[in-house]
Structure 1
Amino acid sequence: MTYPHWPITIGILGGGQLALMLARSASQLGMATLVLDPAPSCPAGASAKHGQGHWTDAEALADFAKGADVITVENEFVEAESLARLEQLGHTVLPSSGTMRLVQDKLVQKQTLRGAGVPVTEFLAVSSQHDLDEAMRMFGFPIILKKRTLGYDGTGNFTVSTPADIWSGVRRLGGFEAGLYAEKWCPFSKELAVIVTRGRQGQTVLYPVTETRQHEHVCSDVLVPCQITPQEAEAAAQMALRSVEAVSGVGSFGIELFQLPDGNLVLNEMSPRVHNSGHYTLEACDCSQFENHIRAVCGLPLGSTRLRSAAAMVNVLAKSTGTGYPCGMAEAMAIPGASVHFYGKLRASPGRKMGHVTALGASATSALETAKLAAAQISFKE
């Protein structure tokens, strides 16, 4: 694809750490980036021009879009209606509003993927006591209650272990009016993830299957390559690819899967954006998920996803509430083989992702040891 000018300017809705890493990858290609974020300060502001405003504000959205050749998102919370408004104004938006309508509501996402023949966890919409009773009858216990939208890092999930817990879960998630659904508990043996990048013409590249590990519903570690058979890895890759194709996605998408004890797979969740499970690609792959996202939405050739080395990524999670000022950065950077990424968030809170550490190694396990050692050096002032 030929552009009438260079640099291409990319507009990103949302200004968090994903936008920061997208902006850095765009800069590497000589491109400019704009971000629209409601906060007065945001991580992406360190590498992109930051416009303060909300995507639900039609005037702020239109002003932001005037300076962009193509517009993308860094999170799934940007309403499809806002993207459709931009499309009606003649802007190129990828992923499109149509894709986001199918993905950002997790109930609709599950319905769409099931309709495309992708195995998913059993689910049921719940909007009344009758629906809750039906979910308990169908699924038994435990049941996972989830918010249909605006849930992330475990904030939109509640595990119901007994009938006595169910109303606690409904209240915790904001009540029926917040939009809820129930899932049957999935007794998985491993949690896997695959990054798929799909271009404007439907061309695709897939990154290696990773194993993800969670702590209190937040991803703590990512290991690659995953210790599964080649046949299982191929099955995971094909399921991820079918999922992105089912929603006509363009860009890098994160696909999270459950591997069952018998080796079969079910899809847990799809994210229409670059994903935490793919941060390792910055150091470990020929072309990162971030650069490939930029290439995809701009209609440029997709880069190689070849894994250069076994790798691991550890999220740097805050343990308490306080400032975003990091202590121990020098000590972390002194660990041989550790690549430290810090996002520049101004406030820390328990479980918040403040940065990550990647390490390469002879095996994913040895790389994990290095990454954990470096991440353990970092804390935040209270």
Structure 2
Amino acid sequence: MNKKVGVIGGGQLAWMMAQVAPQENIDLLVQTPSFSDSAVSLATKTILGSIDNAQVTAELAQYCDVITFENEFVDLVELQKLADKGVCFYPRLSSLSPLLDKYEQRCFLQSQGLPVPHFKAYESLTDFDDFSYPLVLKARRHGYDGQGTIIIKSPSELTAILPKFDGIPLLIEEFIPFDRELAVIGTRSASGEIKIYPVVQTYQQNQVCRWVIAPTILTPSQQETISSIVEKLLTSLDYVGVLGIELFLHENGTILVNETAPRTHNSGHYTLDACVTSQFAMQLQAVTGKKLGDVTLKSSGAVMVNLLGFENAHSDYQEKRDKIAKMGAFVHWYGKKESRIGRKLGHVTMLLDEDTPEKIEEKGRSIVQQIESLWYD
């Protein structure tokens, strides 16, 4: 009999979980506010309602063995009432608790002895005296795809920006002069088994991920540092499921943790086509108590490019997608009816067969240019 997994959220992350669920002998059910959301077409059952409505989650729980998450926009206090009645959530609510507020997340990371940028909760203008420009301002809750994250370059910019965040709790952090932005997907099962995917380079524009190249160039020491960070986080959180971790490779070669995402993550989308077990299959394996799969790359490397909205329109961009597919790419289209500037509409993955990380990066960047020239022409 198939296991039944509920997902709070019905967007593209749940949609990609739903794609691999049949291979894992899993029925996937979703809680989502609209029947037009991506995962609805593939879900076994859809419970219609806001993702932060615990009463709707209670209805979802009636049909599920376990409930997991597509995003962090949930009400932990109300969900805890369900957990107290026996509803199983993975990751555990206690694992999510220190991560949902970005200031509290930073405090937790620091308490674990992990290297993080200098940070402070914004309470008054004097808090900025501890920072030089440029600096980074982040909304403590509900930031997603770069929303709520702004790089402030001068006192005049700060004066202009702050009124727009009136009443919104903020995190101030130092701007890191990075050589590269990195990300890694770690997974832990309920039995404590841990698997770590290859570390990738990510490129952000306007705080939104444009592309990912796997694997990235690291020294053995840097690789070891990142692996120890992942293992420490997963273990200290008593985490079950997939955890996305974003990092900075400082110009001086040190590694800093930027932030975490307690779910499948955009930086791991390449795993659908490039790894033996995708992050989406891995999430389902972890939350249903299965042995975790193989995270090995099928080729020497891969590049993933996000297809972002470049206009406000209603279009499926089939002609553009066909041109990209002719390059030999795997094109994943999320089935969204409406395009908005910066909205993630799909992604593209191409496998690489170069023999060194340096050549993988060079080839990957070339492919990024080709795909983006077709998409954003």
> Over aligned residue pairs, what C-alpha RMSD do you find?
1.7
* AA of the residue aligned to 1:147: A
Match of 1:280 among 270, 275, 279: 270
TM-score, normalised via structure 1 length: 0.92
Match of 2:36 among 38, 41, 53: 41
Identify if the C-alpha distance between structure 1 residues 56 and 357 changes in structure 2 by more than 3 Å, giving closer, same or farther: closer
Equivalent runs, 1:7-22 vs 2, <5 Å: 7-22=2-17
Within 1, Cα distance between the matches of 2:258 and 2:307? 24
Query: Deviations along 1:122-148, whole A, 9 cap, x unmatched?
Result: 1101123xxx3232x211111211100
Instruction: Give the match for residue 92 of structure 2.
Output: 96
**Mapped pair 1:270 → 2:260:** yes
Within 1, Cα distance between the matches of 2:144 and 2:293? 29
Instruction: Indicate if the aligned counterparts of 1:9 and 1:67 stay in contact, CA closer than 8 A.
Output: yes
Quick check: 361-370 or 342-351, which moved more? 361-370
Instruction: Give the match for residue 294 of structure 1.
Output: 284
Percent of residue pairs identical: 36
Instruction: Give the match for residue 87 of structure 1.
Output: 83
Within 2, Cα distance between the matches of 1:379 and 1:141? 32
Instruction: Give the match for residue 3 of structure 1.
Output: none
Instruction: Indicate if the aligned counterparts of 2:54 and 2:75 stay in contact, CA closer than 8 A.
Output: no
* AA of the residue aligned to 2:127: E
Equivalent runs, 1:26-175 vs 2, <5 Å: 26-48=21-43, 49-128=45-124, 132-135=125-128, 137-172=129-164, 174-175=165-166
Instruction: Give the match for residue 209 of structure 1.
Output: 199
Within 2, Cα distance between the matches of 1:247 and 1:90? 20
Instruction: Indicate if the aligned counterparts of 1:54 and 1:61 stay in contact, CA closer than 8 A.
Output: no
> Which SS does the other structure have where 2:229 is aligned?
helix
Within 2, Cα distance between the matches of 1:279 and 1:82? 31
Instruction: Indicate if the aligned counterparts of 2:180 and 2:250 stay in contact, CA closer than 8 A.
Output: yes
TM-score, normalised via structure 2 length: 0.93
* AA of the residue aligned to 1:361: L
Within 2, Cα distance between the matches of 1:200 and 1:322? 44
Unaligned runs of 5+ residues in structure 2 are: 355-359
Quick check: 118-127 or 366-375, which moved more? 366-375
Within 2, Cα distance between the matches of 1:56 and 1:350? 26
* AA of the residue aligned to 2:159: W
Quick check: 367-376 or 221-230, which moved more? 367-376
Aligned positions, number: 368
Unaligned runs of 5+ residues in structure 1 are: 1-5
Match of 1:247 among 237, 256, 261: 237
Instruction: Indicate if the aligned counterparts of 2:264 and 2:279 stay in contact, CA closer than 8 A.
Output: yes
Query: Deviations along 1:4-58, whole A, 9 cap, x unmatched?
Result: xx20011000011000111112122221111001123100112112221024334
Q: Shift in Å at residue 183 of structure 1?
A: 0.3
Q: Shift in Å at residue 81 of structure 1?
A: 2.2
**Mapped pair 1:257 → 2:250:** no
